[in-house]
Amino acid sequence: MLAAGTAGLAALALPGCATLPAARPHRAAQRGCLPRVNVAPDRVIRTVAGLRPYRPSGFVVRAEALGAKRLVHNYGHGGGGITLSWGSSRLAVDLALPGQQGGVAVIGAGVMGLTTARLVQEAGFPVTIYTAKLPPETTSNIAGGQWFPSSVVDGDRLTPAFSAQLVAAARYAYRRYQILAGEEYGVRWMRNYSMSNRLLTPGPIDTLLMDLFPEAKEVAAGDHPFPYPNVRQFDGMIVDPGRFLRALERDIRIAGGRIVIRPFHSVDEIAALPEATVINCTGLGSRALFGDAELEPVRGQLAVLLPQPEVDYALSAPGGLYMFSRADGVILGGTHEHGVELAEPEPETIARIVEGHRKLFAGFRCG
């Protein structure tokens, strides 16, 4: 992550904190102002909180036997669930399908479950999703949706094997989301800015994925309105989770997929399913269901302002602040609260987030 200590752009509104890759200094082609976000407590239309399923050693894509069944895990993506979904699910499906005959069970209907199910269908197999909840009642719906694999691993625990897994998932997901760009799936490109009082330097994830951030460059003083001396930009995708998840569920149903509403309380219940292959996409639920003690919740809190269609950029700033604009509102974050189990926003924290952004935009040098 950026060594200056500034939080990066949120991958979740449940974010982990995204960071920007290093780049050569560049003078922006357009000098001038960006639209200012109108931040005030009376413009807050909702507040939300969700729990990221974080593993310090990184997300799990692994196959094992469950009696006579093949069980494939696909969970623990921290703040990078939306970002990595297609790619991690691709890896999981590639483990699940060799020699497959008949239908496949997918457990969970967040972004991992839905993308996994769709890829199973594209491979020509029938799929049944078993889930306790459907969108919009999943954690994935609370995600902000910036395309950046943030908070997916503790940098001190990054291994060559996990780095290869992360790169493979990120590259596939990056291509797949580009194919879906447009209104139907809620995917669009947006300019992202990160800023600090100190020099911004790349972290380990930035280095691994440097080429996936087009237009990455330093922005010269005077070419931006931000009240900080060091600013970087890159162009990246933003995914509207509500629209994206609705479209995915629609596609799965149209293609003949079945969705069964049921919770699971033990592995024995999963072993009793009729399908010979099961893909586990239960996120934080894998902690209790499969005994993964490394999984921990990391709470993120957000305030959502009235929409401002003219605001067509995203930013991150010191103090853990980040903002990006969607059709359903201007998203303000955020927090990164390890070990907090309650997925509820706290008024004092929301007030801090709103006030921090109010001061940031009050410091704009123009607009």
251-267: pLDDT as tens digits:
999 999 999 999 999 99
Residue 53: strand pairing partners: 297
SS3 at position 344: coil
Same domain, 206 and 348: yes
- pLDDT for residue 20 is more than 90: no
Same domain, 50 and 68: no
Stretch 42-64: mean pLDDT, rounded? 98
- Pairwise CA distance, residues 19 & 316, whole Å: 9
Lowest average pLDDT, out of 34-38, 125-129, 201-205, 303-307, goes to: 201-205
> Is residue 7 a part of any domain in this protein?
no
Stretch 329-344: mean pLDDT, rounded? 96
Q: For residue 32, what pLDDT is reported? A: 62
Kindly indicate the confidence band of residue 64, based on its pLDDT and cuts at 50, 70 and 90: very high
Strand 313-317 and strand 321-326: pairing? antiparallel
Q: For residue 201, what pLDDT is reported? A: 86
> Is residue 32 a part of any domain in this protein?
yes
Helical spans, DSSP H, in 188-328: 204-208, 241-254, 267-271, 286-289
Average pLDDT taken over every residue of the chain? 91
Lateral strand order in the sheet of 104-107: 60-66, 69-75, 277-280, 104-107, 127-131, 258-261
- pLDDT for residue 29 is more than 70: no
First to last CA, the chain: 30
Stretch 170-198: mean pLDDT, rounded? 97
Kindly indicate the confidence band of residue 198, based on its pLDDT and cuts at 50, 70 and 90: very high
Q: For residue 113, what pLDDT is reported? A: 99
> Is residue 220 a part of any domain in this protein?
yes
- pLDDT for residue 292 is more than 60: yes
Same domain, 222 and 337: yes
Same domain, 219 and 322: yes
The residue out of 261, 289, 317 marking a domain boundary is 289
The residue out of 289, 307, 326 marking a domain boundary is 289
Lowest average pLDDT, out of 9-13, 18-22, 47-51, goes to: 9-13
Same domain, 254 and 315: no
The residue out of 252, 273, 289 marking a domain boundary is 289
Q: For residue 50, what pLDDT is reported? A: 96
Q: For residue 144, what pLDDT is reported? A: 84
Contact 292, 55 (CB under 8 A): yes
Stretch 84-103: mean pLDDT, rounded? 98
> Is residue 19 a part of any domain in this protein?
no
> Is residue 168 a part of any domain in this protein?
no
Same domain, 235 and 344: yes
Q: For residue 31, what pLDDT is reported? A: 62
Domain count across the chain: 2
Same domain, 202 and 267: no
- Pairwise CA distance, residues 258 & 234, whole Å: 40
- Pairwise CA distance, residues 238 & 329, whole Å: 13
Same domain, 106 and 211: no
Strand 187-196 and strand 60-66: pairing? unpaired
Kindly indicate the confidence band of residue 367, based on its pLDDT and cuts at 50, 70 and 90: low
- pLDDT for residue 30 is more than 80: no
SS3 at position 37: coil
Q: For residue 42, what pLDDT is reported? A: 98
Lowest average pLDDT, out of 7-11, 279-283, 342-346, goes to: 7-11
Q: For residue 361, what pLDDT is reported? A: 97
For the whole model, what pTM was predicted? 0.91
- pLDDT for residue 27 is more than 80: no
Q: Which domain holds residue 272?
A: 60-136+241-289
Same domain, 320 and 233: yes
CATH number of the domain residue 69 falls in: 3.40.50.720
Same domain, 96 and 214: no
- Pairwise CA distance, residues 94 & 212, whole Å: 23
Render pLDDT for 340-355 as a digit per residue (tens, 0 to 9).
Answer: 999 999 999 999 999 9
> Is residue 12 a part of any domain in this protein?
no
Helix axes 111-122, 81-96, angle to 10 degrees: 40
Same domain, 326 and 278: no
> Is residue 339 a part of any domain in this protein?
yes
- pLDDT for residue 195 is more than 50: yes
CA distances (Å), 103 to each of 62, 125, 156, 274, 275, in order? 20, 6, 40, 9, 6
> Is residue 177 a part of any domain in this protein?
no
